[in-house]
DNA sequence: CATGAAACGAACAGATG
DNA sequence: CATCTGTTCGTTTCATG
């Protein structure tokens, strides 16, 4: 029960999907893609922006030619899972540029990291000099990705009728 | 020993880093950020583009208000790891929009997936209707992310002097 | 929401130092 | 590479139907 559970129609969702795949599309192109004229399309984009739906517009680089194609998943256990230890770990991990993703996992109360590395030497140094030196880290297990089969950033949106989750309560509805 | 092991200087790397964080930066702003005038900056961006370093310009959406904040990691084992079975699995998995990432892992010759879901019901349906129905899938183990501590798309580039890896051979050097 | 007009800024190309 | 010129094009706002 929130004040304004904003709903997105199929045009809004079309706009989001276009932008998810091309952040540099011009307003004119975007308008054509969703069957609007430029003015209302422009207004909708601004409205979606004001709703805070856009996190960032980013350029994805190809890791291959840059020599950063090694993906390693690292599972990290902490000695004691008190709130304070978790916070310090998360802080420390967020300062490492090689850490692309970090999740607090259920079950073992572990962390799961995805890191990118140029070679094995760098991985070794990262683990020894940057991970094990974080206070509270007790166990580390790493597994290598032989191949990145899929990597995408576009969220799977429904085709129409999406009710936004209000910041406090959580009413989501798919139609 | 390839024909043209192109090297990027610190300005090129500065451009890449700017674009990694803001795909919509104007050429004028970009030029100022890397201490160039607009013309050579523009030419460098074009050159980097022609080298194939840009994969995509994308808009990252906030999963929270869209009701897609549940991240689940799923480990999948296949019955037999013959090339043909792998290929069919990868094909099938790439058609599922909820699968954000998929890696072929070393060791157990498993796959590791990250999928996003609106709720548990959807996860259950995904696993039962979409995963176990892929021929050759033998074992599935899923673990939930309680919290996304970090998620970024920007690759960690060296501060200067990066030799690109040529498509065939692989000579990478960091200075 | 569509249309059309108008002002502003940016992209892009070319020439010079 | 910097600076300058100029054209083209897209953005953004506004007034009208």
Q: Are residues A52 and A83 in the same domain?
A: no
User: Which residues of chain A (3-42) touch nucleic strand D at CB < 7 A?
Assistant: 25-29, 38-39, 42
How far out from the chain centre does Cα A47 lie?
Answer: 22
Q: Are residues A108 and A126 in the same domain?
A: yes
Q: Which nucleotides of D are covered by protein (CB under 7 A)?
A: 1-4, 10-15
Tell me, in Å, how far CA of A40 is from C1' of D15? 15
pLDDT in tens, B79-128: 987 899 999 999 999 999 999 999 999 987 799 999 999 999 999 999 99
CA distances from A41 to A11, A14, A37, A71 (A): 9, 11, 6, 39
- Candidates A142, A55, A160; CA nearest to B69 is A55
CB-based contact, B161 to chain A, within 8 Å: no
CATH at residue A86: 3.30.70.920
CB contact under 8 Å between A99 and B150, yes or no, is yes
CB contact under 8 Å between A23 and B19, yes or no, is no
Pairing, β A173-174 against β B70-78: unpaired
Residue B72 lies in a domain: yes
pLDDT in tens, A27-80: 999 999 999 999 999 999 999 999 999 999 999 999 999 999 999 999 999 998
Considering CB atoms only, which of B66, B149, B153 is closest to A164? B66
d(CA A158, CA A2): 22
Residue B19 lies in a domain: yes
Q: Are residues B75 and B138 in the same domain?
A: yes
Supply B128's token pair. Answer: 């039962």
């Amino acid at each position: 029960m929130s004040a304004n559970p904003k709903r997105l129609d199929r045009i809004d969702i079309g706009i989001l999907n276009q932008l998810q795949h091309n952040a540099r599309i011009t307003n004119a192109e975007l308008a054509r893609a969703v069957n609007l004229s430029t003015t209302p399309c422009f207004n909708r984009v601004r409205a979606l922006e004001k709703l805070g739906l856009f996190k960032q517009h980013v350029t994805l680089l190809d890791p291959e030619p840059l020599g950063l194609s090694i993906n390693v998943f690292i599972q990290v256990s902490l000695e004691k899972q008190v709130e304070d230890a978790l916070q310090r770990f998360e802080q420390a991990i967020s300062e490492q540029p090689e850490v692309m993703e970090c999740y607090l996992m259920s079950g073992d109360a572990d962390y799961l990291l995805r890191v990118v590395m140029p070679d094995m030497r760098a991985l070794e140094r990262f683990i020894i000099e940057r991970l094990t030196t974080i206070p509270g880290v007790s166990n580390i297990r790493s597994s290598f990705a032989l191949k990145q089969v899929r990597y995408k950033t576009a969220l799977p949106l429904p085709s129409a009728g999406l009710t936004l989750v209000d910041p406090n309560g959580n009413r989501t509805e798919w139609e």
